[in-house]
Amino acid sequence: MVMTEDQVNASAELAAVLSVRHLTKVFGGLKAVNDVSFDAAPNQVTAMIGPNGAGKTTVFNLITNILSKDAGQVRFLGRDLARMPAVKIAGLGLIRTFQSARVFPGMTAIENVMVGGHRLSPRSGASQTLWLRGARHEERRILNRAEEMLELVGLAPFRNTHATELPMGAQKLLEVVRALMAQPKLLCLDEPAAGLNDTETQELANLLRAVRTLGVPVLLVEHNMSLVMNVADSVVVIDSGAIIATGTPTEIQNDSRVIEAYLGREGHAAS
């Protein structure tokens, strides 16, 4: 039996955690994002790469409705995200981080991570006000989990340090585990390696592999090629707002268009 394109799409969507179809955004006369479609599969790290200004972060902001899209559709776990506010999207389990590490100033490292536990803590403010047993237990549980999270990235010794006083790399890791704390059904990371040195990038790669082992799918927008080639299961390459290739890291590395558009340029710059 031959399936129509729609049916193919439908079955792909069922399998995919996130499916993006025909996403388009125009800034003035410039098509910043032009007819972008891709899927993020369960238990996989999907990476989106591309040269500076290719429109990666714009795609990201369109997915999470920080920017409004001009055309296209984003479905997360089968639900259309159109016009859904950020808090609802997060409520569904799509948790994102930001390009510039946005830890909460005025809070310690452990408190920052504990904020991530908010999504899955059903106890009301009223029960906390009355110091009810359930609320206190929940608090303990969140604290323990947050401590495990800090342990995971080696930040446990800094649990009571104010988050903004940590070095940039630590802040970025903190932001990732804060998002993990929310038990995402899809973890979206916006250039997590930007501003990190090689050691810190290595720590990040380890963390991402650990995340995948936990069964959390990841959508990774990244500039750092070695990180992507290291951890990604499938790669989407964007240039000038449009997808030019998709495939496994090995396929991408051997794709002539990618080499021409992206790796070629980078190789040129390196030599």
Compute the chain's Rg from CA coordinates: 20
Cα distances (angstroms) measured from residue 3 to each of 9, 10, 121: 10, 10, 44
Pick the piece of the chain touching other proteins (CB under 8 A) from 34-42, 127-135, 196-204, 217-225. Answer: 127-135
- Nearest approach in angstroms of CB 68 to other proteins is 12
DSSP 8-state symbol, 103: -
User: For residues 185 and 92, is the Cβ–Cβ distance under 8 A?
Assistant: yes
Q: Of residues 32-61, which lie at the interface with other proteins (CB under 8 A)?
A: 57, 61
Distance between CA atoms of residues 70 and 76, nearest Å = 18
Residue 30's H or E segment, with its range, is strand 30-40
Member of 19, 34, 46, 64 binding other proteins (CB under 8 A): 64
Q: Largest Cα–Cα distance of the chain, in whole Å?
A: 66
Cα distances (angstroms) measured from residue 105 to each of 101, 112, 170: 11, 9, 14
The answer to the question of residue 78 lying near other proteins (CB under 8 A) is: no
Closer to other proteins by Cβ: residue 46 or 97: 97
The answer to the question of residue 84 lying near other proteins (CB under 8 A) is: no
Distance between CA atoms of residues 252 and 47, nearest Å = 11
Closer to other proteins by Cβ: residue 174 or 252: 174
Q: What angle do CA 237, 243, 244 make, to 5 degrees?
A: 70
User: For residues 246 and 237, is the Cβ–Cβ distance under 8 A?
Assistant: yes
- Nearest approach in angstroms of CB 96 to other proteins is 5
The answer to the question of residue 222 lying near other proteins (CB under 8 A) is: no
Write the interaction track for other proteins spanning residues 151-190; mark x where CB under 8 A is met and - where it is not: -----------x-x-------------xx--x-------x
Member of 19, 46, 99, 171 binding other proteins (CB under 8 A): 99
- Nearest approach in angstroms of CB 156 to other proteins is 19
List of residues contacting other proteins (CB under 8 A): 57, 61, 64, 66, 85-87, 90-91, 95-100, 102, 104-107, 111, 114-119, 121, 123, 125, 128-131, 135, 138-139, 142, 162, 164, 178-179, 182, 190
